[in-house]
Amino acid sequence: MCAERIRDPDVVIVGSGIAGALIAKALATGGRKVLILEAGEALPPDINSYMNRFLMAKSKVPESPYLPELFNAKGDLTDPSTMNVGRPTVLSLGPKDSKFNDFQNPKMSYLVQHGPLAFGSTYERVNGGTSRHWLGTSLRFVPADFEMKSRYGRLSTGRSNTPIWRSGTARPRRRSAYPPMWRIRNISISDSAPIIPIRCRGLRCRRSTWRWKRRCPV
Amino acid sequence: MDPIQIKRDYFNAAKFIEKPSRKPNPIFPKLMDIIRGDPTNPVAAAAKVMNNPDTAVMYLGRSIILAWYLGVWYDPDVLKRYNTPNQPSPVPVDRVISAAAYTQGWTWRVAQAHPMGYSELRYGYWAQDALPLSDYIA
């Protein structure tokens, strides 16, 4: 539909979630023609279909309002990889203990996980991506994340090796002291949620997630 | 007064057996006969249902109470099966009766709360004191 209106995009972004939207905004602000492709359901005209699906769900979990429906009429879980825009459900991401929970079985959990501990969070494949639900998981970098090598002797990408802030020194007060990606994410998401303080002491981080939930109805 | 006509959803849930194929529930007329037999005293009629020697009637009564309270349907046969010593828990829910039944569940009133995404409280409600619990469960 809209793709026909943008015949010669400078950039094509796959996925209309948080990352895609932020990149698109930055590019469009810079004058580029951006096309975003989204595999999932289009935006409905109102939230009633989302609300009805949520209210009728036997287990009310973050992905309940959205398609595709992962459980069939008999209440059995369908293999998410066999449907268009499949994705995991938190109902199958626990340790193997019941009918559905088995995070190490991709036919149940969709995610391929080899570790001993489950990554129990999900995401959405609809217009808007995972911004459709919070799930209490709102990953936010803290200074220690950019000191993985100097502080912990571990590093995966090699990109963010520069120490931004060392423990024992004064913490930078200006936001510009933090890396750009940290800043972009905070500024954009704070349109719908307040910037909340993170108190850090070494690795122990605390954040008041209830404030996020209060501002976000779904 | 029931502007939402939620009783239609409850009747539909109690009158029919959904699975494996929708058909009239033969127990429902028996239950209605008891209620109609004592129209002036619904409390006594309800007691007759809940203490009925025919356990099928009693468990249907329990399902209806749970429907009214929670907005979900528990199959009477499942309630019966789980009402034994060393029962596993929780009792599996058959289905949510309807979106309206869920939001109108009496449990929200008792909790003095409302379901997510639905509220009867209107703009400015925060300027008034909350209603006492007795207003909900008297």
Q: Averaged over A12-40, what is the pLDDT?
A: 91
Chain A residue whose CA is closest to B19: A74
Chain A contact probe: residue of B4, B96, B119 with most A CBs at under 10 A: B96
Length of chain A measured in residues: 218
Q: pLDDT: is A174 or B108 the higher one?
A: B108
Using a CB-CB cut-off of 8 Å, the residues of chain A touching B115 are 55
Here the tokens at position B74 are 């528990």
Whether A206 and chain B come into contact, CB under 8 Å, resolves to: no
Whether A60 and chain B come into contact, CB under 8 Å, resolves to: yes
At residue B15, does pLDDT exceed 90?
yes
Using a CB-CB cut-off of 8 Å, the residues of chain A touching B93 are 58
Q: pLDDT: is B23 or A205 the higher one?
A: B23
Angle at A56 between CA A211 and CA A40, to 5 degrees: 75
For chain A, positions 151-190, list CB contacts with chain B under 8 A.
none
Q: Are the Cβ atoms of B116 and A218 closer than 8 angstroms?
A: yes
Using a CB-CB cut-off of 8 Å, the residues of chain B touching A135 are none
**Whether the Cβ atoms of residue A62 and residue A213 lie closer than 8 Å to each other:** no
At residue B98, does pLDDT exceed 90?
yes
**Whether the Cβ atoms of residue A39 and residue A84 lie closer than 8 Å to each other:** yes
Using a CB-CB cut-off of 8 Å, the residues of chain A touching B103 are 55
Tell me how far apart the alpha carbons of residues A58 and A198 are, in angstroms, rounded to a whole number: 35
pLDDT for B80 equals 93
The DSSP secondary-structure symbol of B86 reads T
Using a CB-CB cut-off of 8 Å, the residues of chain B touching A218 are 116-117
Q: Measured between CB atoms, which of B93, B103, B117 is closest to A218?
A: B117
pLDDT for A35 equals 93
pLDDT for A28 equals 92
Using a CB-CB cut-off of 8 Å, the residues of chain A touching B116 are 54, 60, 217-218
Please tell me the distance in Å from B132's CA to the nearest CA on chain A: 24
Q: What is the tens place of the pLDDT at every residue in A114-153?
A: 888 888 888 899 998 888 876 655 566 667 777 777 888 7
Please tell me the distance in Å from B119's CA to the nearest CA on chain A: 12
Question: CB neighbours (10 Å) of residue B99?
Answer: 20
Please tell me the distance in Å from B120's CA to the nearest CA on chain A: 16
Q: Averaged over A87-113, what is the pLDDT?
A: 88
The DSSP secondary-structure symbol of B127 reads G
Contacts of B132 (CB under 8 A, 6+ apart): none
Buried b (16+ CB within 10 A) or exposed e, B48-82: bbeebeeebbbbbbbbbebbbebbbbbbbebbeee
Q: pLDDT: is A50 or A19 the higher one?
A: A50
Chain B residue whose CA is closest to A214: B116
Q: Are the Cβ atoms of B96 and A217 closer than 8 angstroms?
A: no
The DSSP secondary-structure symbol of B126 reads G
Q: What is the tens place of the pLDDT at every residue in A151-204?
A: 887 765 444 444 444 445 555 555 444 455 555 555 555 444 444 444 433 333
Q: How many CA atoms, within 13 angstroms, populate the side-chain half-sphere of residue A1?
A: 3
Q: pTM for the whole thing? A: 0.73
Q: Measured between CB atoms, which of A54, A56, A58 is closest to B117?
A: A54
Angle at B59 between CA B55 and CA B61, to 5 degrees: 115
Q: Are the Cβ atoms of B102 and A56 closer than 8 angstroms?
A: yes
Whether A55 and chain B come into contact, CB under 8 Å, resolves to: yes
Angle at B91 between CA B89 and CA B93, to 5 degrees: 140
> If you write DSSP's letter for every residue of chain A in order, what string do you get?
-GGGT-SS-SEEEE--SHHHHHHHHHHHHTT--EEEE--SBPPPSSSHHHHHHHHH-SS--TTTTSSSP-B-TTSPBP-GGGSTT----GGG-S-S-SSS--TT-HHHHSS---SSS--------BTTGGGG--TT------GGGGGHHHHHS--SSSSS-S-S--TTSPPP-SGGGS-HHHHHHHHHHTTTS-----EEETTEEE--THHHHHH---
pLDDT for A145 equals 72
User: CA nearest A104: which of A117, A90, A123?
Assistant: A117
pLDDT for A153 equals 79
Q: What is the tens place of the pLDDT at every residue in B26-74?
A: 999 999 999 999 889 989 999 999 999 999 999 999 999 999 999 999 9
Q: Amino acid identity of B89? A: S
